[in-house]
Amino acid sequence: MPGQQSIEQLSINTIRTLAMDAVQTAKSGHPGAPMALAPVAYCLWNQFLRFDPNDPTWPNRDRFVLSAGHASMLLYALLHVSQVKAVNDEGRVTAEPAVSLDEIKRFRQLESKCPGHPEYHLTSGVETTTGPLGQGAANSVGMAMAQRWMAQYFNRPGFALIDYDVFAFCGDGCVMEGVSSEAASLAGHLKLSNLCWVYDNNRITIEGKTSLAFSEEVGARFQAYGWKVTQVKDANDVPALAQAFTAFKNETEGPSLIIVDSHIAFGAPNKQDTHGAHGEPLGEEEIRLTKKNYGWPEDAKFLIPEGVLAHFHAGIAARGKAERHTWLTLFQAYQERYPELAEQLSQMERRQLPENWGRGLTEFPANPKGLATRESSGKVLNAVAKEVPWLMGGSADLAPSTKTRLTFDGAGDFQAGTEGGRNLHFGVREHAMGAILSGMTLSKVRPYGSGFLIFSDYGRPAIRLAALMGIPVIYVFTHDSIGVGEDGPTHQPIEQLASLRAIPGLMTIRPGDANEVVEAWRVIMQLQRQPVVLALTRQAVPTLDRTRYASAGGLAKGAYVLADASDGNPDVLLLTSGSEVSLCVEAYEQLKGEGIKARVVSMPSWELFEQQSQTYRESVIPPAVTARVSVEQATTFGWSQYVGLKGSSIGMHTYGASAPIQDVLKHFGFTVERVVAAVKQQLEMRGNA
C-alpha cells in the first residue's frame, strides 16, 4: 500500500497514477510518457529546479519546457503536487492554484486549465505552448540565449542577477523533427552551457518501434553538435539521474543532453509500450493491474497520499522560496547601486518601453525615386534599437539583404564569449529561428528575425504558435512580391501574404513607403500580446509627398484614405498595400485628370483595420461606393471581403516569372494602364462612365 513506500517512490507513483486516471476519465490522452518520465521529473523538480511555486514568474527562475507536449499530464501533475499558484492576466500571483485536482479531473475538457497539450497563458507554470514536436526544444534554446544576453547586460560584479538554467524534456519525435536539429546545432555553436535537454529514449512512436524509420545514434549526433552527452540506463534510477543533473550544473563548455532509457511499466506482463504511450487510455482493468504493481489501492482514483504534498513543499517550494528571497534581497541592493539598469529590467519584464524610445523616429522627405521599404526599415530599426536596449535580432543568413543588422556603436554580435551582442546569427535555419524567437520573447527580451517572405513557409509552425500564445515576436520579411524579378517563381511570394493574414492573432503590416514604415515600427514596438509580420520590398518605391496626400499616421488604423476625390465623394475606390500604393496613386492622378472621382485607400494591415469601429471602417470604405478595384502583387484571395462580389482584383493567379522587374510587372499587368482600365470597367458596369 502507498503508506509502505518511501516518500520518494510515493511521490513518483502519485504523478503516474494522476496521469493514468486523468487520461482514463477523459477517454483520451497519452499516459505512457508521463508514467515513464515521472522519476525523471520528480528528481529534477524536487531536487534541482530553481522555481518558487508561490511566484512562478520571478525573473531568475529556471525554465522547464515539456517539448514532448503529448505528455502534458506529467506537467499538470507536477504543477499540482508542487502547489504552484496561478498568475492573473495582469501578472499578479493569486491565491488560486495553477492546477487544482478538479482541473486534473477535467483534463482535456472544455475550458479546463489542463488542455490536451500545455498552453502558455492558459495555465500558470507552463513556460511555452508545446505539442508540435521539437518546437518546445527549440523554444528552450531561445530562453537560454535570452539568459546569456541578460546576464551580460544586467549582471555586475557581486550581482549575478540573471543566471537561470533551462531544461527541456524531449521524446523520440522531438529529436527526429528538423527544427530540433537546427536549434541544437546553433545551441552547440553558441556553447549554451545553461541548457539541458532530457531525451526520453523509449524507442516508441505512434506507428510502433522507432526502428521502423529511425536508426541513428542520437548521442553521437549531439556530440558532433558540441553537446555534452550523458546516458542514464534506467529512468527509475533516481541517484543516477541526480548525478546527471549535477554534471549538467557543473558543465561550462556547452549544452547538455541527458539520454534516459525508459520503459513503460504496465500491469499486464505482455502489455505493449505502444498502447498508452501515444494516444489512448489504458483501460480500467489495465489501470487496476498497474496500480497493483505500484502497491497502490486498485480502485482509488486521483489519490494523493498523505505526505506527498508536504514532501514537495519541503523540496521545490522551500528551496524556491529561499532562492527567490535571496534574489529579491540582491535586487534591492542592485536597485540602489544601479537604479537605471534595475528600471530597465523592470520595464523589460513588464513589456514596457523606455520613456524616449521613439525620439529617433523622423519623417522621410518626399522623393519620387524613394527607397526600398527594406532600406527605410533598416534605418528606423537602428534608430529604435538605440533607445531600446533589449531589442535585438538577426536573420536566417540574409541580414545584408533584409537590412536588419544593427550598425550603431556597441551593437555587436551575439556569439559564444560575446553574448552581450545584439546581432543574432541564426544561419540558414528559418524554422529554428522562429521557435528561438518565441523562446526569447517568452523570456521578455524583444527579438526580431528576418528573411525573405517566400521563406516564411519554412518558419510558419513557429509563427502560428507565437500567435496562439499571444507573444510579441517580430518577423521582418523582405522581397515581398514578384518585384524580386530575376530570381523567379521560387523566390517570388504569391500566396504567403494571404496565408499569414489567415493566422488568427497574427498582425501583418505591408507599408507602402518610407513614412508608412516609420509608423509601422511605431505600432510594432507598442505591441505586448501579438506577433507581427512586417512585409517589405526589395525594390525602391517613391516616398509620397505628405503635403499632397494624407499623413502616414493613418497606418495605425490599418487602412486610411490616402488620396480622395476633391469633394470627398468618390465614384470608385482603389484598395492597395505595399509597393502597389504608388502605382495606385499614379493611376489616381491620371483618373483625376480625366475627371474621374477616385479614392486611394492604403491598406497596410487588414488586422488593424478590422479592430477599428464600424463607423471608421465605413468612412474609409463607404458601403455606397460599390465600384472597387484592389491591387496587390499576390494572390487575390481574401480581397473579396473588401471589393465585394462585383469588384475587381488585380493580382496574381499563377506563380511568377524570372525576368527584370519592369518586364515582370508589365507581363502580369501591374501597370497604370491596367489599373485605369479596371476602374473604367467598374464604372461602366454601374453606369457611371
Residue numbers annotated as active site: 430
Q: How does 38-75 read in b/e, with b if 16+ C-beta sit within 10 Å?
A: bbbbbbbbbbbbbbbbebbbbbbbbbbbbbbbbbbbbb
Distance CA 272, CA 662 (A): 64
Q: Which residues pair with 575 in a beta bridge?
A: 601, 630
Full DSSP string of 166-190 = EEEEE-HHHHHSHHHHHHHHHHHHT
Crossing angle of helices 284-294 and 7-26, in 10° steps, is 180
3-state secondary structure of 510: coil
Q: What are the grid coordinates assigned to 526, written together?
A: 507598442
Residues ≥6 apart with Cβ < 8 Å to 31: 19, 20, 23, 24, 73, 276, 281, 282
Crossing angle of helices 456-469 and 430-442, in 10° steps, is 20
Chain centroid, CA 79 distance in Å: 23
Could you say which DSSP state residue 364 is in? P
CA angle (252 as vertex; 257, 169 as ends), nearest 5: 25
H helices then E strands: how many in the chain?
A: 26, 22
Beta strand 540-543 pairing with 367-372 = antiparallel
Distance CA 584, CA 602 (A): 9
The three-state DSSP-derived secondary structure of 197-239 is: EEEEECCEECCEEHHHCCCCCHHHHHHHHCCEEEEECCCCCHH
Q: Are 41 and 74 in contact (CB under 8 A)?
A: yes
Residues ≥6 apart with Cβ < 8 Å to 514: 364, 370, 371, 373, 376, 543
Q: Are 208 and 200 in contact (CB under 8 A)?
A: no
Q: Looking at the chain, how many residues does it have?
A: 689
Q: What letter represents residue 39's amino acid? A: P
Distance CA 119, CA 354 (A): 30
Beta strand 628-635 pairing with 572-576 = parallel
Rg value, the chain, Cα: 28
